[in-house]
Amino acid sequence: MAVPNVVWLSSPAATTFPAHMNRNFDYHRASSPEDAIRLKALLGGNARFWAGGTDLMLWDRRKDNPITAAIDITALKELSGIEVSGNRIRIGALASLTLLERSGHRHLNLRVLAGTARLMCTPQTRTIASIGGNVCNASPGADLLPPLVALGAKVRLQGARGTRIATLEQFITGVGQNDLGSDEMLTHIEIENNDSRSAAVYQRVARTAVDIALVSSAVYLGMGDDGKVAAARISLGAVTARPIRCSTAEERLVGETLTEGRIAEAAQRAAEYASPISDIRASKEYRSKMCAVLTRRCIENCMSEINRKAAA
Amino acid sequence: MNITVNGVKHDVACEDGDRLSDVLRGELGLIGVRVSCAEGECGSCTVILNDQPVTSCLVLARQAEGATITTVEGIGTHDRLHAIQEAFVEQQAFQCAFCTPGFIMSAYAFLKENDNPTEEEASDAVAGNICRCGSHPYIVKAVVAAAQKIRERV
C-alpha cells in the first residue's frame, strides 16, 4: 500500500522529568525470600519490598515519609504462581493481576478473584501489579480485599524468626497499615479448597472501567445438603478503614433457607458496618445505601450460581 | 545496566529511582514512548517488557535489567510499516497522534494472543489507553483490521 509521507524527527530531544518527580532511593535486588528479609532488616528506615511498584511508584508525593530503599523481589520464584492442591489454594504474593485474571478456570474460588482482577487498573498495569502489593498497600478501596475476606483468606508471613499465618482482618490494621514486622514479608495468600455447594461474588460501584471502587461488597455462601445456608461470609470495600466481616449479617443467613425478606435483612445489617465518607466522588449517604444494594445482589448472585451448578 | 531494546543490546546509565520510561526516552532517545500522566492511567508509555505489555512509567528501570523490550520503534520502519501501523493509517485511527504508539503497543501485545478479535474484544484490549481526541471507534476498527492483515500476511 502507499504510505503517506510522514515527517520524522531526525534528532529526538532527550526528555527527562523535572527534578521533583525523581525518586531518590537505593535499589536492591533480592535473590531469595531470606535475602529479602535480611535486606529489609538491614536497611531499616522506610525500605520497601518492591514488586509491581504500581502503588509505590506514586509514593514520592508523600514527601513526609519518603521511601529510602527499594528491595526488588520480582526475581523470587518461590513467591510467584498459583498452586491448587488437596485442601488449599496458595497464591504467591507476586502473582500478577493478569495471572489472577487468567486463573479463574482453575478453581471455583479463583473465579471471583479473576473477575475482580479484571476490574482493576488497566491491562498493561495488571501485568505488573501483584496481589501481594494490593493486600499490603491496605487501601480501603483495594478491590481484592472484600472477595479475599469473603473467601476466608489467610496471609502467610515469613520472618527472620519463622513463619506465621494471619487472617486478612488481623493483618490489615488500618488505612494503609498492616501488621508486617520490620523483618517480615508476605509470601503467600491462602484460601480453602472447598469445592462444595458454594459460590462467591464481588460487586462494586465505580465511575469508569479504570476507576477504583466507590463502594463494594463481597459475599461467600456455602449451602448444606438440607438447602439451608451452612456458611456465609460478608465483607465491604471502600466504606470501612480496614477489611471487616459483617458478622451480624452473616448470622442472619446461616442455618436459614433464603427468602427475599431474609436476604434484604442481611443486606441491611451489612450496611450498618459501613462508615462511609463523603468526597468528590460520592456522598456518604449514597455509599451507605449502595452497601445494602450491592450485598443483596451478591447474595442473590451467589444463590443463582449455586443453583445453576446444581442443575448442571 | 544492560537492556535489550528492539533487538539491540544497550549498556545504559541510570539512577536507582529512574522509571523505565525515563531511560527509554532520555538515554536511548526512543520518543515513541510517550509519557502523559506518569501514573499508569493513560497507557501512552506502553511497551512490551519480556512479552507482556506494561506501562513503562510504573516500572523501575533497574527492574528491567537484562530484560527484552520492544517499543513502537521496533515493530516497523518508515518503508515497511507493521500491519497495525498500516491499519491505523488506513482507518485514520488518530488525530493528534500523541497516544498512538501506546495504542499500537497494546494492540501488538493483544493481537499476538488473539488474531481474530471481535470489536468488543479489541475495545477491551485498548481499555488501558486514553485518546483525548476521541478516536476510539476508529482505533477499535483499526485493531480489527490489523488482525485481518496479520492473518493474511502469514
Query: Are the Cβ atoms of B63 and A125 closer than 8 angstroms?
Result: no
Say if residue B7 is in the same domain as residue B70.
Answer: yes
pLDDT of residue A196: 75
pLDDT of residue A62: 66
Which chain A residues are closer than 8 Å to B29 by Cβ? 12, 14
Say if residue B145 is in the same domain as residue B96.
Answer: yes
CATH number at residue A122: 3.30.465.10
For residues A219-248, one letter each, b for 16 or more C-beta atoms within 10 angstroms of the residue's C-beta and e for the rest, the string is bbbbbeeeeebbbbbbbbbbbbebbbbbee
CATH number at residue B69: 3.10.20.30
Rg of chain B's alpha carbons, rounded to an integer?
A: 15
Chain B interface, best mutation among A124, A128, A134, A137, by max B CB count within 10 A:
A124
Mark which of A72, A101, A131 sits at the end of a domain. Answer: A72
Q: What sign does the CA torsion over B35, A120, A205, A217 have?
A: negative
Say if residue A63 is in the same domain as residue A90.
Answer: no
**Which stretch of DSSP H or E encloses residue A185?**
strand A184-192
Mark which of B74, B93, B126 sits at the end of a domain. Answer: B74
pLDDT at B102 over 50: yes
How close is the nearest chain A Cα to the Cα of B42, in Å?
9
Say if residue B19 is in the same domain as residue B44.
Answer: yes
Say if residue B91 is in the same domain as residue B68.
Answer: no
Q: What sign does the CA torsion over B114, B105, A54, A158 have?
A: positive
33-92 in A: which are within 8 Å (CB) of B? 50, 52-54, 57-58, 70, 72, 74
Say if residue B93 is in the same domain as residue B67.
Answer: no
pLDDT at A15 over 60: no
Range of the structural domain that residue A35 is part of: 24-72
**How does pLDDT run across A235-292, given as a tens digit for each residue?**
999 999 999 999 999 999 999 999 999 999 999 999 999 998 888 888 999 999 999 9
Mark which of A192, A217, A239 sits at the end of a domain. Answer: A192
Say if residue B65 is in the same domain as residue B95.
Answer: no
DSSP-derived letter for residue A4 is P
Say if residue A97 is in the same domain as residue A59.
Answer: no
Among B23, B105, B107, CA closest to B70: B105
Query: Are the Cβ atoms of B53 and A127 closer than 8 angstroms?
Result: yes
pLDDT of residue A264: 97
- Please name the amino acid found at residue A67: I
Say if residue B23 is in the same domain as residue B42.
Answer: yes
pLDDT more than 70, % of chain B: 99
Say if residue B100 is in the same domain as residue B66.
Answer: no
Range of the structural domain that residue B106 is part of: 83-153
Alpha-carbon gap, residue A110 to A95, rounded angstroms: 13
CATH number at residue B98: 1.10.150.120
Say if residue A86 is in the same domain as residue A187.
Answer: yes
Q: Does B152 touch chain A (CB under 8 A)?
A: no
Structural domain includes residue A13: no
Say if residue B11 is in the same domain as residue B66.
Answer: yes
Alpha-carbon gap, residue A240 to A215, rounded angstroms: 10
Structurally, chain B folds into a number of domains equal to 2
CA A133 to chain centre: 8
pLDDT at A8 over 50: no
pLDDT of residue A61: 64
CATH number at residue A58: 3.30.43.10
Q: Does B12 touch chain A (CB under 8 A)?
A: no
Among A233, A254, A256, CA closest to A244: A233
pLDDT at A12 over 60: no
E-state strands within A59-183: 69-72, 82-84, 88-92, 154-159, 162-167, 172-174, 177-178
Mark which of B43, B74, B105 sits at the end of a domain. Answer: B74
Cα dist from A204 to A216, A237, A294, B33, whole Å: 4, 8, 7, 33
Q: Give rounded-to-5 percent helix, strand, coil for chain B.
A: 40, 15, 45
Of A14, A15, A124, the CB nearest to B46: A124
Mark which of A192, A218, A248 sits at the end of a domain. Answer: A192
ipTM over 0.85: yes
How close is the nearest chain B Cα to the Cα of A122, in Å?
4
Structural domain includes residue A5: no
**How does pLDDT run across A63-99, given as a tens digit for each residue?**
678 899 999 999 999 999 999 998 899 999 999 999 9
Say if residue B33 is in the same domain as residue B55.
Answer: yes
Q: Does B53 touch chain A (CB under 8 A)?
A: yes
Output A24 or B28, whichever has higher pLDDT.
Answer: B28
Alpha-carbon gap, residue A271 to A236, rounded angstroms: 8
pLDDT of residue A1: 46
Q: SS3 of A21, please?
A: helix
